[in-house]
Amino acid sequence: MRWIDLLRMSSGNLKRRKLRTFLTILGVVIGTASIVVMISLGLGMQESMYREVEQSGGITNLTVTGKQTEGSMYYMSSGDSDQQEPSKYITDDVINQLKQLEHVKSANPILDVSAIALKGKYMGYLQLRGMTPEALKEQNIKLAAGGRLPDPDSANLELVFGNGVLTSFYEKTTGKGYWETGEIPDVDLAHDQMFLILDQDGYFQTQNQGAGMSAGGGEGGANQTPVKPPKKYVVQSSGVVEGDIDTYNANFYYVYCDIDKLEELLKKEFRGRVIPGQPSTKSGKPYKQFVYSSASVQAENLDDVDELSATIRNMGYQVTTNAEYMESMKKQFAMIQAVLGGIGAVSLFVAAIGIANTMMMSIYERTKEIGVIKVLGCGLKNIKQMFLMEAAFIGFIGGVVGNILSFLLSFIINFLTQSGNAMGIDGNISYIPPWLVLASMAFAVFVGMAAGYFPALRAMRLSPLAAIHNE
């Protein structure tokens, strides 16, 4: 019997029992959609992780952390309990040493500083991150239209604002901001100039001093030593990270600037004093060298990352690598996808039982037809192929419709979660790649054929005479 004849007979048999075929296909549709949507959630988180790594210098990036000072803004841990606490500060000398290491493409300092921004009735707490122009380019920061990276030769300090920095601004009088009121502060980060205050302690002391004098009518202030107000530096934006206030990404809260310009302003503001976050001598005087929060090192190749990481750790520093982070997250996402896929597979397993039941019922109803076909000379192999083809048809149609339903559900999920950002994920929370569509289609057909295999064997083994005489 030709394949075209088998195809025609199989499709005709399915059409004759439309309701039963529809219900059986519906089970496959639900099962396929469940698997695809469940796995797509894990893939969405994985894609978000890839974008975050790309925005953090790429997979060949290493973050080197030295000895921490009192009042340091951040402490970056590698998550490796075997690593010892760093014993040395990161200074310009250390940066030069890192540059001389084998397999190092570039090494640049990073300076993290907290500051206050003033604009009209608003006050914002900024997380300044000073970086070299080279390191800023390696960050792969996506800026909104018209934006650019800070110019190190600018007269004023230029800033690149993260798209979520507005959430750090509060009204001076009420102390309420976006998270309390739900209203975005009336500050245009892209165009407004604002005042930057580096000496936060000095600012609050002058504010408290002024409040005390007002409350006490000047009587309490007479015994107080006047505090000199800190300098207010005029700053402006050179760009804003792409995305609105609800679009989370790796640069969401950061404010980037040129590290040399930031270091210059800090030394000018705290001349003769210890800069917050910087170490001091035993006598309380400023440390002889400027200390950076961390260093960003780029390896020449991915294969060099592990060797370079071990070398820097042996120098007495802590190292975190994007490659290690990705490897760790991949294992976690693989477990998540396996669990989610397993949940969806239960539905397809139930659908397989439905296919097997449908095929068995079809055999009982067509026993005489099978006997006639055998008597007319149809081979046993052809009979088996006919029933397997019917089961494959059910799996194929269910797979196609199930994938269409999956894309619809994925769109609804992404829309309801505001493109993933409601869960702190950069991008869509559900992501369906082409390979997942093809794999789910193949799996649905395989499940259909597997479920129809034993019914097909039963049909093949029926005695022709018994089948013809069957009532």
Q: How does pLDDT run across 222-242, given as a tens digit for each residue?
A: 455 566 789 999 999 999 999
End-of-domain residue from the set 300, 318, 346: 300
Rounded to the nearest angstrom, the gap between the alpha carbon of residue 469 and the centroid of all alpha carbons in its chain is 66
Phi, psi dihedrals of residue 271, rounded to the nearest 5°: -55, 125
* Total domains in the fold of the chain: 2
The pLDDT of residue 333 is 78
- 317: in domain: no
User: Which residues of the chain register pLDDT less than 50?
Assistant: 74-81, 219-222, 419-423, 471
Please indicate, yes or no, whether residues 83 and 161 belong to a single structural domain of this protein.
Answer: yes
End-of-domain residue from the set 300, 317, 350: 300
**Structural domain of residue 224, as residue ranges?**
61-300
The pLDDT of residue 379 is 64
The pLDDT of residue 378 is 65
The pLDDT of residue 361 is 75
The pLDDT of residue 157 is 93
pTM value > 0.75: no
Please indicate, yes or no, whether residues 22 and 84 belong to a single structural domain of this protein.
Answer: no
- 12: in domain: yes
- 321: in domain: no
The pLDDT of residue 214 is 56
Please indicate, yes or no, whether residues 123 and 244 belong to a single structural domain of this protein.
Answer: yes
Nearest to 445 by CA among 388, 406, 383: 388
Please indicate, yes or no, whether residues 191 and 90 belong to a single structural domain of this protein.
Answer: yes
**Would you say 454 and 351 are in contact if contact means Cβ atoms under 8 Å apart?**
no
- The DSSP call for residue 225 is P
Please indicate, yes or no, whether residues 24 and 132 belong to a single structural domain of this protein.
Answer: no
- 322: in domain: no
- 311: in domain: no
Please indicate, yes or no, whether residues 270 and 413 belong to a single structural domain of this protein.
Answer: no
CA distance 271 to 277: 15
Helices (H), ranges, 379-433: 380-416
